[in-house]
Amino acid sequence: MKNTIIKSIFVMLLISSISSAQSNVFGLGIIVGQPTGISAKYWTSSSTAFDFGLGYSFENNSRMHIHADYLFHSKDLFNTSENIALYYGPGARLKLVDKGDSRLGFRFDVGLVWVPRNSPIDVFLEIAPLLDIIPETDFSFNGGIGVRYFF
């Protein structure tokens, strides 16, 4: 498992060095919650982005959690001078387990992101309902808080 995490960090760092020339569109950081691990975000426009997560899941017999989402950001919902946006979007999740069947399913991510003025970071809070479809149908939630640095 450690080798997989180290390889994943290396790939994310490689991607970040390639995308750093694209004016802060790639961010890498941490998420604490369910799962706890690495969070990455790649902006595709001023209001859409891909979000990725790789971490440890604390559910029974869990080993690793991988997810990817396509997010839409609504920046005009809050009457504030701060850069706060609501985001939401569909995604997928793979949960590998020690004993038993690994799980594959859909997720729908909803959260708030705050980008401090003149800062290369964002801080986020999210919740994601999950619908596992393989090996059986099961409903659950993910959620966490995190921070990312944009290169």
pLDDT attached to residue 17: 43
pTM for the predicted model, two decimal places: 0.80
The answer, yes or no, to whether the previous bond of 129 is cis (omega within 30 of 0) is no
Would you say 117 and 142 are in contact if contact means Cβ atoms under 8 Å apart?
A: no
Longest dimension (CA), the chain: 50
pLDDT attached to residue 54: 95
Spatial CA neighbour of 67 closest among 101, 43, 31, 22: 31
Does 9 score more than 70 pLDDT? no
Q: Which residues, in sequence order, are bridge partners of residue 131? A: 106, 139
Q: Indicate the DSSP class of residue 9.
A: H
Does 139 score more than 90 pLDDT? yes
Q: How many CB atoms lie within 10 A of CB 47?
A: 13
